Chains A and B, each alone.
Chain A
Amino acid sequence: MKRAFPILAVLTVVFVAYGFYLGLFVAPTERTMGEVQRIFYFHAPSGWTAFWLFFVNLIASVVYLIRRNLKADALAVAAAEVGVVFCTVVLVTGPLWARPVWGIWWTWDLRLTSTLVLWLIYVSYLMLRRFSGSAQTPVLAAVLAIFGALDVPLVYFSIWFFRTQHPQPVIGNGGSLDPSMRPAFWTNVAAFSCYGALLCWARYRVELMHRNVEEAYALESLLDEGSSSGADTRPAYRGSPQ
């Protein structure tokens, strides 16, 4: 399993480099939008990556609530954090494209608003993790993740009632993505998926390591207290004031 990590890293570098080359140099320039359309090759794959990372977060949260497995919780943190990063990329690249094409930075239409609300929900998830005491954080966060997931369809349907200005999905049924643009698009989907998986995996390992270190510190300070050898020999780490 540990050998898979460098393999994934190499794969990511290859895909990202090739996707960058295809997206910026090989894919034809769009007829009406011009060069600015190329941001699409990074915007849509980032969105896709963010969504599946949030999905991983949900699955990990449910597994944690059922099994109380701390590894699942670490995966949930990693997926949420990296997902928020990719979702931020979507929310930043969108207006950059919209300004020259639509003439406005932002509009409160279905996809934009629901992506923004999704981002808000996951930021509140990360804030909860940051603000709560260490022992109960996993349970509270897992419950919030489930609430967030339940909220997503409701958000979508409520905003669906507004007029939609976002370009209709160009992938899947009735898609209008020109065949010559497809290699660039799909390579970038693969590239961003690998990149997201790589970051999530790295963050997950850091999180596990961090927890091990914290546990070791806690154990050490307990042992020190037991031997009553005076406060000065204790490590600097004292844990929370409670």
Chain B
Amino acid sequence: MNSLWSITLATLAKDIRLEWRSKDALNAMLFFSLLVVVIFSFSFDPLAEESRHIVGGLIWVAFLFAAVVALNQTWARELRNQVLDAYRISPAPANALFLAKAMGNFIFVGLLEALMTPLFIVFYNLRALGPAWQLIPVAVLGTWALVVNGTFFAAMSVRTRSRELMLPLLLFPISIPAVLGMVQATTAILTGEESARFWIVLLLTYDVVFTTACLALFGAILHAE
């Protein structure tokens, strides 16, 4: 257990250092979601009343598509110089690698959300009519839901012929309940018309189920030959 955590933290620190030096994924994600904010503002009247009902979907679609950028980078980076093969031979537990990657992506996507949310608030004149603090658990659980399966499916799609194309095709269908939960919870909180509790519980269940599944099956994916 102890070695699992130390390896996880070492890999995570390496990934964060790499990203900090290049800032490739973060810059691409930020610019991409900024574009989404601007382009979607043409499709409806961005006034407070109307945007409250729409922005829940909009914001998560922007984050979902932007997250794919970071997720695709996750394993592609390890293919250079056969790092992934080296990892496969090493006695380090496979789940340490997976957890480090998932936590790294969680940090990157979380950072993106923290930077983009103020922009959404300004551009769409948002003010929550429901309990705004509930947006924090929704964001945490929702981001983990995207990232845990995203990291897993990125490890799968990196083995296929058209890697970058494959990830969204695998990730989006499986993520439908999570996306529905995030969007509905955010809308419920922003409009204050109904309780977001069901959706938060759904997101929590989704996270528990798929984190367990990922940890149980990641070894099989990493060692698939």
Contact = CB atoms under 8 A, between A and B. Distances in A.
Interface in B180-225: 180-181, 184, 198, 202, 205-206, 209-210, 213, 217, 220-221, 224-225
Output the residue of A133, A135, A146, A151 with the most chain B CB within 10 A.
Answer: A151
Interface of A is mostly: helix
Contacts of A154: 177-178, 202, 205-206, 209
A137 to B, nearest CB: 9
Contacts of B107: none
Given A139-B224, A158-B177, A132 B159 contact: yes
B161 interface: yes
Contacts, number: 85
Contacts of B213: 146-147, 150
B22 interface: no
Output the residue of B149, B156, B161, B225 with the most chain A CB within 10 A.
Answer: B156
A20 B23 CA distance: 63
Contact of B181 (A136, A139, A146, A158): A158
A159 B180 contact: yes
A140 B218 CA distance: 10
A146 B217 contact: yes
Interface stretch (A119-127, A165-173, A212-220): A119-127
Contact of B225 (A136, A155, A157, A158): A136
A121 to B, nearest CB: 5
Contacts of A124: 169-170, 172-174
Nearest to A149: B213
A117 B176 contact: yes
Contacts of A237: none
A53 B166 CA distance: 25
B170 A144 contact: yes
Contacts of B161: 131-133
B177 A139 contact: no
Contacts of B170: 124, 128, 144
B180 A147 contact: no
8 contacts: A124-B169, A132-B161, A133-B160, A143-B221, A147-B149, A151-B176, A157-B202, A161-B198
Given A128-B169, A143-B220, 16 more contacts: A124-B172, A131-B166, A132-B161, A133-B160, A136-B159, A139-B221, A143-B156, A143-B221, A146-B213, A146-B217, A148-B174, A151-B173, A151-B177, A154-B206, A158-B177, A158-B202
Interface of B: 149, 156, 159-162, 165-166, 169-170, 172-174, 176-178, 180-181, 184, 198, 202, 205-206, 209-210, 213, 217, 220-221, 224-225
Interface of A: 65, 117, 120-121, 123-124, 127-128, 131-133, 135-136, 139-140, 143-144, 146-148, 150-151, 154-155, 157-159, 161
